[in-house]
């Protein structure tokens, strides 16, 4: 659990240093931080799931099923609001060290990244559903 939390914190804290590094090093550090965060999250999820009783597993299933849909819908709604655009631009400008970033380019990049996450979640949901059904429908 500590790794899943520490990796993004260390990455964000190192952004000023990373801004002066070659792109290859930035991509490597980004990949390492993302991998540690995802693997750490999986480990925590598996560990915590094993400790749940039936009632809590039902609650986790409900929240997993509908939580990502609600969150995706919320971000899609926020993308239509100018104050959220301002927030995206200020964060993008601060991270990139650019005083006045290209608004259209940053918003399109953010929106395309968000769409990629939603499409990847949908694809993984479909694949895992097919795998689950195939596995559970085998003859005993």
Q: Where exactly are the structural domains of the chain? A: 1-51, 67-140
> 103: closest CA among 76, 84, 116, 77?
84
Give the pLDDT confidence of 31-53 residue by residue, as tens digits. Answer: 999 999 989 988 988 888 888 88
Sign, CA dihedral 106-41-30-8, equals positive
For residue 54, give both structure tokens: 């039936």
Q: Give Cα 97 distance to the centre of its chain.
A: 23
CA atoms within 13 A on the CB side of 6: 5
pTM above 0.75, yes or no: no
For the segment 76-103, what is each residue's pLDDT rounded down to a tens digit? 888 888 898 888 888 888 887 888 888 8
16-34 residue pLDDT tens: 898 889 999 999 999 999 9
Best CA proximity match to 5, nearest among 44, 62, 59: 44
């Amino acid at each position: 659990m500590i790794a899943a939390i520490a990796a993004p914190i260390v990455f964000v804290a190192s952004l000023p240093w990373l801004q002066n590094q070659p792109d290859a090093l930035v991509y490597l550090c980004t990949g390492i931080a993302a991998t540690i965060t995802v693997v750490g999250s999986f480990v925590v999820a598996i560990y915590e799931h094993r400790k749940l009783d039936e009632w809590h597993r039902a609650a986790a299933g409900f929240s997993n099923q509908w939580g990502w849909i609600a969150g995706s819908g919320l971000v899609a709604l926020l993308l239509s609001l100018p104050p959220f655009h301002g927030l995206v631009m200020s964060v993008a400008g601060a991270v990139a060290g650019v005083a006045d970033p290209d608004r259209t380019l940053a918003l399109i990049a953010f929106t395309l990244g968000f769409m990629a996450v939603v499409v990847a979640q949908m694809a993984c949901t479909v694949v895992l559903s097919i795998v689950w059904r195939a596995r559970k429908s085998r003859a005993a």
